[in-house]
Structure 1
Amino acid sequence: PPSIPSPESPAAAHAGRPATLAGAILHEDFARRRPPPEPEPEPPPAPLQDEFDNPYLCPYCAAQTQPDDRKCQACGAKLWIKTRRREERSTWLWAALTVQMAGIIWPATVPLLMLVYAAHEVEIDNPLTLVPAYLGLPGSVPPKVANAAFEVMPRLYILAFAFYLLFSLTILIGLYLRWKPIFYLFLISALLALVLGGAGMLLGQGVGLICSGGGVILALLMFLLLLQLEDDFFLDEKRILLRVDRSAKKGLDFLASGRRYARRNMWATAVIHLRRATSWLPDWIDGHLELAVAYINIKRYDLAAQALAEARRISPDDPQVAELTALLDSLRPQT
């Protein structure tokens, strides 16, 4: 949104720059103050019916926009955002993480068991001495013995499990971070688990056969989880509308929302919240001053003057009233 020229007064200079203005008015100057206790619960004030009741006004500068506009023509702000369909990680996602972690254990275990079996068949005491041979690296195992081990347990089979182990670790990290490509890689991971598990059942023996059967079961569970995980990974694009937060119910709620939007330079959205805050807390000066600041940043100088008049009524000698009044006078067109 457009910046506001700064007068000589330090406090007013803060008000002239949207980002620091929010910091000065909403944090520094009023950090010492606390709003008065809210009155006993009563029917909330009637909604304000005015120019800001149009949800398609720009939430930053309050300029008129069309529902399909991608950006505000007046201030250049983006009017569409992408948000997750599900903000928090679902129970199904945590279940998928658990299954994926279990899926890392079995491809790490099966090759070790296969190495033990191959070492036993070729009469080697330490199965780990076969690892360099399977990876194509120099080692202490004679080539003749290594070739005999390859006949017992094919080299390609061991390498396939090693690749799948690294792949599964990548999937585990991506699942937790909810990377969209991981959704599809998770599908590939389930297919690989099914293929390798089936191959393990055909080639394995004893404990290796049992572990491979467990891998097949895990692969089927991964397929079932995929059906529940779509909302965790996919984003929906939605228009930013000028409307009050549904969670805001009382004066302090509206005040907190107004301050939050002011920090994001969404001044029009801050206005509609601060207006309601001042209707709940009409004798608290800070709310009126913050509302005046928001009006100034969307160039509604007449409304800013009204907000400052209310602040002056509450505390005629407040220095912030004088500083913002001087800023407002410098911004108004000279007649």
Structure 2
Amino acid sequence: MDLQDKLRQGILAAKTGEKKKAYQLLLDVVKADENQILAWLWLSSVVDDLDEKELCLENALALEPDNEAAQKGILWVRNQRLKASLAQQPSIEPPKPLAPPPKIIIPEKPLQDEFENEWLCPYCTTLTSPEDKICPHCHRQLLIRQRLSPERSVWLWRGIFLQIYTAFYTAAFGVGYFSFICAFYALPAFYHFWPLYFGQTVNYPASVTDQVLEFFPVWMFWTIVAIAFYSLNLMLILFLRVPYGHLMYLLNSGMMLLIGIFGMIFSPSRWIMFGGFLGVLLGLLQLLITNNLWKDFTFEESRLRLHLDQDATNAPSLYLSARKYARLGMWGNAIIHLRRAVAKSAGNLDYHLALVVAYLNTQRIDQAQQALEEVEALHPNAPQIKKLEVKLQQAVESKQ
């Protein structure tokens, strides 16, 4: 078994809780090659003695002084020693620890670092100010306009269906009234007279056509058509949530109320008075609906920031969210999802590779290099690694 195989098996054993096996494998690795920083870090997680743990972490720091995991691990060890010494002095109230005891290694949850700062640009990960409307580095827009109600509300659907009902009711009323006139005066069916309303002639005597136009005049026909067409257009405005559409609906409800009241008060015909009464009812319904539509048509500006999706609770859902943000070019949001996906499922090759790609797209060469080394330790024979190494080398050269 070569050195890399031992390292990989030792890491897997540590993750699965086989401490004795992990200890022996990782110890063999550091004996053979003292420069294996991953081996020192994982070895510190499987030893229980604080002195041994500190020795492993100090060796890791000697190889990489800026390694955050090793730094926090040593801080935790020293806090544990401080707590142990204070526990022997019951009369002295122990002070608060210098820092919370974090996990030594990444496997359980990601370490807190710069990506905990929500004001990093979600596109290029450059630090921005909360007041920035445009990222000063990548020049992407950081302010977005969103509706207060992203989905169509119940009241909006009520308004839409009310307009559909109004259009069909108006058309049905016109057809029914025309049919009634034709039947009452023993005239042919109403559809024989449609051409009259388009300026054409029909094969009936003038006395018949005059009688039809007297009881169902041209202005009435086109008024009914206009009302039905207007109702359908208003329905479309509501459905598409055209800006200020709710104000148009409010204006429409006011017009319906005025027309209905005017018809009820001044019309000599009972039928028209009844129509006016229906107009008042319709206007009141529209007014009630309009009063509940403001969230559907009101926008608010919000600042883009780094955030985890609320429904991303396990490794697969975190990976899917990361892919979504990657397609949008929001590599910062992709990175924080991928880091957590890797932490929850450290053996998954796809998660590691995607994280390397995300780092490369944000020009984070050092972090991409470190992530790639972790992939090589876990999956040394993965063919994708060679391609990423080429991309990494190209990124290094372009940065120089």
> What SS does the corresponding residue of 1:89 show, helix, strand or coil?
coil
Q: Distance in 1 between matches of 2:250 and 2:132?
A: 37
CA drift of 1:264 comes to: 1.6
Does residue 57 of the first structure (1) align with residue 120 of the second (2)? yes
1:175 and 1:142, CA in 2 relative to 1: closer, same or farther beyond 3 A? farther
Write the mapping of 1:21-60 to structure 2, written as runs, cut at 5 A. Answer: 45-46=108-109, 48-60=111-123
Give the superposition deviation at 1:129: 6.1
The correspondence of residues 177-256 of structure 1 with structure 2, limited to 5 A, is 177-198=240-261, 201=264, 203=267, 210=274, 212-256=276-320
1:308 partner SS: helix
Residues 279 and 323 of structure 1, relative CA distance in 2, 3 Å threshold: same
1:189-211 deviation per Cα after TM superposition (whole angstroms, max 9, x unaligned): 32343344445556485666545
Shift of residue 262, structure 1, vs aligned partner = 1.3
SS in 2 for 1:175: helix
Are 1:97 and 1:176, in contact at CA under 8 Å, matched by a contact in 2?
yes
Question: Are residues 1:296 and 2:331 paired?
Answer: no
Q: What is the match of residue 380 of structure 2?
A: 316
Aligned-pair distance for 1:185? 2.8
Moved more, 263-272 or 242-251: 242-251
Partners of 1:62 and 1:117 in 2: CA distance: 73
After TM superposition, the structure 1 stretch with the greater mean CA deviation from structure 2, 225-234 or 139-148, is 139-148
**Number of the residue aligned with 1:10:** none
CA distance in structure 2 between the aligned counterparts of 1:61 and 1:316, rounded to whole angstroms? 30
Q: d(CA) in 2 for partners of 1:216 and 1:302? A: 71
- AA partner of residue 90 (structure 1): S
1:166 shift after superposition? 0.8
Secondary structure of 1:70's aligned partner: coil
- Paired residue for 2:201? 139
Matched, 1:77 2:140: yes
Once the two structures are superposed, residues 62-113 of structure 1 have per-residue CA deviations (whole angstroms, 9 ceiling, x without a partner) of 1122223222222222212222222222222222222112211332244445
Deviation at 1:249, TM superposition (A): 1.9
The sequence identity of aligned pairs, in percent, is 31
Specify the code of the residue in structure 1 equivalent to 2:290: L
- Match 2:340 to one of 276, 292, 298: 276
Shift of 1:332: 1.3
> TM-score of the superposition, structure 1-length normalised?
0.74
Could you list the runs of 5+ residues in structure 1 that have no partner in the other structure?
1-37
Match of 2:371 in 1: 307
Q: Secondary structure at the match of 1:332?
A: helix
Q: Kindly tell me the number of residue pairs found equivalent between the two proteins.
A: 294
- Please tell me whether the aligned partners of residues 250 and 280 of structure 1 are also in contact (alpha carbons under 8 angstroms): yes
Whether the aligned pair in 1 keeps the contact of 2:122 and 2:305 (CA below 8 Å) is yes
Question: For the structure 1 residues 205 and 116, does the alpha-carbon distance in structure 2 shift closer, same or farther, using more than 3 Å as the test?
Answer: farther
Query: Which has the higher Rg, Structure 1 or Structure 2?
Result: 2
CA distance in 2, matches of 1:244, 1:144: 78
How far is 1:130 from its partner? 6.0
State whether residues 342 and 352 of structure 2, in contact with CA within 8 Å, keep that contact through their aligned partners in structure 1. Answer: yes
Cα distance in 2, alignment partners of residues 195 and 117 from structure 1: 29
Partner of 1:31: none
Deviations 1:212-263 (A, max 9, x none): 5334322211110111122223332211111222222222222221121112
TM-superposed CA distance for 1:125, in Å, is 5.1
Letter in 1 for 2:336: I
Shift of 1:324: 0.8
Q: Structure 1 residues 306, 243: closer, same or farther in 2, change over 3 A?
A: same
- Gapped runs of 5+ residues in structure 2? 1-14, 17-102
Letter in 1 for 2:302: K
Which structure 2 residues correspond to residues 87-166 of structure 1 after superposition, within 5 A?
87-112=150-175, 115=178, 127=190, 135=197, 137-140=199-202, 156-166=219-229
TM, length-normalised to structure 2: 0.63
Residues 204, 247 of structure 1: CA spacing in aligned structure 2 closer, same or farther, 3 A cutoff? farther
- Give the Cα–Cα distance (whole angstroms) in 2 for the partners of residues 189 and 261 of structure 1: 42
Q: Greater relative contact order: 1 or 2 (C-alpha under 8 angstroms, separation 6 or more)?
A: 1
- In the alignment, the residues of structure 1 paired with residue 256 and residue 184 of structure 2 have an alpha-carbon distance, to the nearest angstrom, of 27
RMSD between aligned residues? 3.4
CA apart distance, 1:177 = 2.5
- Contact (CA 8 Å) 2:109, 2:344: kept in 1 or not? no
CA distance in 1, matches of 2:277, 2:183: 23
Does 2:233 correspond to 1:170?
Answer: yes
State the partner residue of 1:28: none
- Counterpart of 1:262? 326
For residues 184 and 143 of structure 1, do their structure 2 counterparts lie closer, same or farther at Cα, with a shift above 3 Å needed?
farther
